Amino acid sequence: MNDRVTIAVADGVADVRLNRADKMNALDPAMFDGIVDAIDRLAAMRDVRCVVLSGEGRAFCAGLDMASMAGGGSGLDPARTHGAANTVQQVAWGWRTLPMPVIAAVHGVAFGGGFQIMSGADIRIARADARFAIRESYWGLVPDMAGIALWRTLARDDMLRELTYTAREFDAAEAERLGFVTRLADDPLAEAMALARTIAGRSPDAIRGAKRLYNLAADGDAAAVLQAETDEQLKVIRTPDQIEQVRANMEKRTAIFSG
């Protein structure tokens, strides 16, 4: 992994930081590579039960580094390099496809590509003074980092169109009201880490199964979702970890899971 993204793991929680603070974590080719590599690494970490994604310095992510990208061509490869996604889309879509939950802790700005990356998280916690924008039309572009696929489960269609067509900035209160932000916090990173530790204390197989169900819910018809609920439950019910979860709750202690 390059130095654009750092990963530190403790007690089942991966603390992942975008690490280009001098450029407000703007996306240059090395940042794209670093994020994709981080997602690949996390996908293989069975000991990680929850991920917290944040940005170093003054911002979560200011979007594309236009000067850097202009000097090296568009950087857009239409090839589906990561399942349904291309490499550019993977930096946002990849968080959604990770087996464990992802919590984004957002401060400063999340513009353009940064807003799409934030949207890939399962849960998004922001400071009240954070600012957001679907910025692409300002540069004569369209959102192409999986935003359209992610936002359809978060906000109303007409609001998405208005924000996309105008590229206007909006504050955290509006982001929360529209559904882009789960809740506001004075210290989003501390709040996200506390929530991640709570999630990490639940049976990991049950949490991963629940994430698969919610991912399916966006596209699956009722019959497919109902069948998936049953299938996921059969995978976890009466397993050692499920029994341990029940015993720990009854004995008012921390559960000790096998995986």
Which domains, and CATH codes, for the chain? 5-199 (3.90.226.10), 203-251 (1.10.12.10)
Spatial CA neighbour of 176 closest among 139, 128, 135: 128
DSSP 136: G
What does DSSP say about strands 50-55 and 109-111: parallel, antiparallel, or unpaired?
A: unpaired
Q: How far apart are CA 66 and CA 175, in angstroms?
A: 25
pLDDT of residue 73: 47
- Residue pLDDT, tens place only, 183-219: 999 999 999 999 999 999 999 999 999 999 999 998 9
The answer to whether residues 126 and 192 touch, using CB atoms and an 8 Å cutoff, is: no
Give residue 125's Cα distance to chain centre: 11
Q: How far apart are CA 125 and CA 129, in angstroms?
A: 12
pLDDT of residue 89: 96
Task: Find the helix or strand (DSSP H, E) in which 27 lies.
Answer: none
DSSP 64: B
pLDDT of residue 2: 73
The answer to whether the predicted template modeling score (pTM) of the entire model surpasses 0.75 is yes
pLDDT of residue 71: 56
The per-residue pLDDT string of the chain (259 residues; one tens digit each, 9 = 90 and over) reads 479 999 999 999 999 999 999 999 999 999 999 999 999 999 999 999 999 999 999 999 999 998 876 655 455 678 888 888 999 999 999 999 999 999 999 999 999 999 999 999 999 999 999 999 999 999 999 999 999 999 999 999 999 999 999 999 999 999 999 999 999 999 999 999 999 999 999 999 999 999 999 999 989 999 999 999 999 999 999 999 999 999 999 999 999 998 6
> 27 forms bridges with which residues in the sheet?
64
3-state secondary structure of 194: helix
Q: Token digits for 194? A: 């506390």
Task: Find the helix or strand (DSSP H, E) in which 230 lies.
Answer: helix 222-236
